[in-house]
């Protein structure tokens, strides 16, 4: 089926462009919520128009999966075909093909889009054409392999690896580079992946390795290897060049604290990102005086954490009610073992006390009450497989599930809805109240659900390591740890830092601010292409900053110009899981940091980056004080 056409004049034209829609054909680029994306932003390609087929012959399930109602037409019978291809509209209106929606792969635990790597590789001056694919063998597992045509004299494995390493995280850098006379194509003009050769030994770039020296460097290298999922880490390696970021940095510091008993923080890592120098900072660090998180008695109501206390107060006042819901959705492909799924969800509720916790007053003070094990997970089931409007109804159910209110006193504060779209396609919706979970918790829940489901489908027992502590233990530990001098030091820093800071940013709004906060709002997505992101990362590294610091500085400049203010305060969330014991827990650990940015004195870009970096590092060092 031909739906777009392009004219190539004198052999010139964009290698990505697939032209414009033919007559009586509509092309839409939609996001995951089925909404049109802005110009230049990638989206999934949908096809509409009179030439659209009615569906797949005698395959109603596949028809329901691929054909959807047209959200841009008033005609209730208008439909679109979901291609599974990703594209974007160029400035001239032409459609650029970026790859397949299902081409995302997992390399060493990280999700990677090979097309993103390919786009950056194509920027090398010695490359004429490039393709990045996944190669897998029994020993090394999955690895990215780059195939290219061009000048192999200036585009050898070492040169290409260095080029990509300066623009991409380590886990996105291909392991091998194969030079070809031409890329093999199928009769339809697409890359013939099966015809690509297996990379030989000379295709692999060699990274110079210098072994760690001494017990501290060895210990640091071991933790870096675990956190960054690198087989080998040398003493001259840079944490951020290996794919690290601030969240992984927090995890790494927590593990080092547990292993060596030293008070090392994320600020040390930002100041000394190379292993050898970072290890020296670890060697100079003081021994930690913070007590471990230990289990407390369960003989009565338990105190809330400071973050929970704030959310409880907001809920009592009716403020930001629905904004405190955490909806998530999983699309399940293949035969579903319903018994194993329910058992896995029930086991999660037994494993994590916070998922069976409710909140009520005790002597006028909000306390948490932990329900007994065996309560099970509240899961509704609905079948849409026989409906012609299955996808439209699914969107309705998604909204309904996410907006159904919770009762903090009665519970449950975690629930789900399983929707059957076909014999081998289901959608699992899980919604939790923010008072019992955060974004990190969602990752824990999905990971453990997968492990439990696989075990239970094979009639095996729970393979997960028992939890040493629970969220209620953390809440008690937090209140003990922030008593006395620790609380005073953190409080003094924030009082001094925010003294005289502007209460708000005076942005030019099209409507006056309401007297009371209205939780209704919108979201504006901005996608940066891989090439620009690579350049930003390289720029950040040259200036001794992270990508976060660079983007925060740029955002502050924009806000400063719009408001006319020389000073402003920008809020940013932190995971607040500074101890190893907290990593596998579900719960609301999130804290907010108020970063005060000074734009006065017409600073250079380098000077502004250092100001923002310093503020971010100091805030990280004092992140334990609750925002509340």
Homologous superfamily of the 302-468 domain (CATH) = Chloramphenicol acetyltransferase-like domain (3.30.559.10)
Q: How far apart are CA 577 and CA 571, in angstroms?
A: 18
pLDDT 10s digits, 567-619: 999 999 888 888 889 999 999 998 889 999 999 999 999 999 999 999 998 88
Residue 208's CB is within 10 A of a number of other CB atoms, namely 8
pLDDT value of position 543: 82
Give me the mean pLDDT over the 102-119 stretch: 74
Q: How far apart are CA 404 and CA 416, in angstroms?
A: 11
> Which spans in 166-209 are helix H?
none
H-run or E-run covering 121 = helix 114-121
pLDDT 10s digits, 259-268: 898 888 888 8
Q: In which region does residue 283 sit, left (phi positive, over 0), alpha (psi from -120 to 50) or beta (all else)?
A: alpha
Enter the pTM of the model: 0.69
Q: 214-284 architecture in CATH?
A: Orthogonal Bundle (1.10)
Domain 482-621, CATH: 3.30.559.30
Confidence of residue 287 (pLDDT cuts 50, 70, 90): confident
User: Angle 275-284/214-228 helices, nearest 10 degrees?
Assistant: 120
Give me the mean pLDDT over the 317-345 stretch: 88
Give me the mean pLDDT over the 321-335 stretch: 89
Give me the mean pLDDT over the 531-554 stretch: 85
**Mean residue pLDDT across the chain:** 86
Confidence of residue 135 (pLDDT cuts 50, 70, 90): confident
Cβ-contact 368, 308 below 8 angstroms: yes
Q: Over 80: is that where the pLDDT of 404 sits?
A: yes
Confidence of residue 318 (pLDDT cuts 50, 70, 90): confident
The domain limits of the chain are: 4-100, 104-203, 214-284, 302-468, 482-621
CATH class for the domain made up of 4-100: mainly beta
Confidence of residue 421 (pLDDT cuts 50, 70, 90): very high
pLDDT value of position 9: 66
Distances (CA, A) of 595 to 95, 329, 572: 41, 32, 7
DSSP state, residue 628? -
Which one of 134-138, 500-504, 585-589 scores highest in mean pLDDT? 585-589
pLDDT value of position 17: 80
Quick check: do 302-468 and 482-621 share a fold? Answer: yes
Homologous superfamily of the 104-203 domain (CATH) = ANL, C-terminal domain (3.30.300.30)
Q: How far apart are CA 134 and CA 146, in angstroms?
A: 9
Give me the mean pLDDT over the 307-324 stretch: 82
Instruction: Using DSSP, state whether 64 is helix, strand or coil.
Output: helix
pLDDT value of position 1: 66
272 alpha carbon, distance to own chain's centre: 25
- Strands 95-100 and 105-107, bridge-based pairing: unpaired
Report the range of poorest mean pLDDT among 13-17, 202-206, 350-354, 384-388: 13-17
């Amino acid at each position: 089926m031909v739906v777009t056409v392009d004219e190539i004049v004198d052999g010139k034209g964009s290698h990505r462009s697939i032209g414009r829609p033919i007559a009586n054909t509509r092309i839409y680029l939609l996001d995951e919520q089925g909404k049109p994306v802005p110009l230049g932003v990638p989206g999934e390609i949908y096809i509409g128009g009179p030439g659209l087929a009615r569906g797949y012959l005698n395959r109603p399930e596949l028809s329901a999966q691929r054909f959807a109602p047209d959200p841009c037409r008033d005609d209730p019978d208008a439909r679109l075909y979901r291609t599974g291809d990703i594209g974007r509209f160029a400035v001239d209106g032409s459609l650029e093909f970026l790859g397949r929606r299902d081409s995302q792969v997992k390399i060493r635990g990280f999700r990677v889009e090979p097309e993103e790597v390919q786009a950056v590789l194509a920027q090398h001056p010695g490359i004429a054409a490039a393709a990045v694919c996944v190669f897998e063998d029994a020993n090394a597992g999955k690895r990215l392999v780059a195939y290219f045509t061009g000048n192999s004299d200036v585009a050898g494995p070492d040169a290409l690896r260095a080029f990509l390493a300066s623009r991409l995280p380590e886990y996105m850098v291909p392991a091998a580079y194969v030079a070809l006379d031409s890329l093999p194509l199928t009769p339809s003009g697409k890359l013939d992946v099966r015809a690509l050769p297996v990379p030989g030994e000379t295709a692999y770039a060699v990274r110079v390795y210098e072994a760690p020296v001494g017990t501290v460097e060895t210990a640091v290298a071991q933790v870096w290897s675990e956190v960054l999922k690198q087989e080998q880490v040398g003493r001259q390696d840079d944490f951020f060049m290996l794919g690290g970021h601030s969240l992984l940095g927090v995890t790494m510091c927590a593990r080092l604290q547990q292993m060596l008993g030293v008070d090392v923080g994320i600020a040390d890592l930002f100041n000394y990102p190379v292993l050898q120098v970072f290890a020296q900072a670890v060697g100079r660090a003081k021994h930690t005086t913070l007590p471990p998180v230990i289990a407390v008695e369960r003989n009565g109501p338990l105190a809330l954490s400071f973050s929970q206390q704030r959310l409880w107060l907001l809920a009592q006042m009716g403020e930001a009610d629905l904004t405190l819901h955490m909806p998530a959705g999983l699309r399940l492909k293949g035969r579903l073992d319903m018994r194993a799924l329910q058992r896995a969800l029930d086991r999660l509720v037994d494993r994590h006390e916070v998922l069976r916790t409710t909140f009520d007053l005790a002597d006028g003070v909000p306390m948490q009450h932990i329900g007994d094990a065996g309560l099970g997970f509240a899961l509704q089931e609905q079948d849409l497989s026989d409906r012609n409007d299955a996808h439209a109804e699914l969107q309705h159910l998604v909204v309904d599930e996410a907006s159904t209110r919770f009762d903090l006193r009665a519970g449950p504060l975690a629930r789900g809805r399983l929707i059957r779209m076909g014999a081998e396609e289901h959608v699992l919706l899980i919604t939790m109240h923010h008072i019992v979970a955060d974004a990190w918790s969602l990752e824990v829940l999905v990971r453990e659900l997968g492990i439990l489901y696989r075990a239970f489908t094979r009639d095996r027992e729970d393979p997960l390591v028992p939890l040493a502590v629970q969220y209620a233990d953390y809440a008690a530990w937090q209140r003990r740890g922030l008593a006395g001098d620790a609380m005073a030091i953190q409080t003094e820093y924030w009082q001094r830092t925010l003294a005289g800071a502007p209460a708000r940013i005076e942005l030019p709004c099209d409507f006056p601010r309401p007297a009371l906060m209205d939780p209704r709002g919108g979201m504006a997505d901005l996608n940066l292409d891989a090439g620009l992101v690579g350049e930003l990362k390289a720029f950040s590294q040259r200036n001794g900053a992270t990508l976060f610091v660079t983007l925060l500085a740029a955002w502050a400049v924009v806000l400063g110009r719009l408001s006319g203010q020389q000073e402003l305060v920008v809020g940013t969330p932190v995971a607040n899981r500074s101890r190893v014991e907290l990593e596998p827990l579900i719960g609301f650990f999130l804290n907010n940091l108020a970063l005060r940015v000074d734009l006065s004195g017409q600073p250079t870009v380098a000077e502004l980056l250092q100001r923002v970096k310093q503020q971010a590092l100091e805030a990280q060092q004092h992140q334990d004080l609750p925002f509340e």
